[in-house]
Amino acid sequence: MESLVESLRHAKVVPVLRRTDGAEAEAAARTLLDAGLPVVELTANTPDWAGALGRLRSAYPRAVLGVGTVCAEGDARAACDAGADFLVSPWPVPDVRAYAAARGVPLCEGGFTPGELAAAARHGVAKLFPAHAVGPSYLKSVMAVLPAGSLVMPTGGIKLADVPAWLAAGAIAVGVGSDLDRLPQVWHELGAA
């Protein structure tokens, strides 16, 4: 988990690649990784995501590769077998949590309420989802009551222009799935490079 936390702090933005097929997701990931971004997340509801992940793992052995929208143990298993460095679930999935713990793979578990986020943060990095429904001020308020050291990554409907506000509110990193062609430029502007 410490390695993932360090990578997320450095990356500040995690591109979430939800695409029509694995080849498209792989191409987008290659573009972002070649631009210097250290972390990318494919989603388990993208067709052939596991194949794309395996090819990316071979081509980019030092990249931090995650799989999101992991809602079943089978997807967690496929992600780990393909070389995922971390898993992301949109809500608590006990089978996924147990599998990730058994494999020693960090899990970013989703939550929305302060109680859900506190519970998720006990297992690693909590994913605030859907973040666009509440905004950075909500995260700032929640961070004030979460146990010290809690880590939260907001995801879902966040625009690149809003990333600095989320980081200022206490996010360890921000998951972004749109406007990714501008991400390398914004990433450098954030001082992440």
Catalytic residues: 41, 127
Extract the runs of DSSP E, i.e. beta strands, from the chain. 13-17, 39-43, 64-68, 86-89, 107-111, 125-128, 151-154, 174-176
How far apart (Å, rounded) are the C-alpha atoms in residues 34 and 29?
Answer: 8
Q: What is the DSSP letter of 121?
A: H
The answer to whether the peptide bond before residue 184 is cis (omega within 30 degrees of 0) is no
Residue whose token pair is 């973040």: 131
Tokens of 107: 């899990």
The DSSP code sequence of 76-120 is: HHHHHHHT-SEEEESS--HHHHHHHHHHT--EEEEE-SHHHHHHH
Q: Are 71 and 96 within 8 A, CB to CB?
A: yes
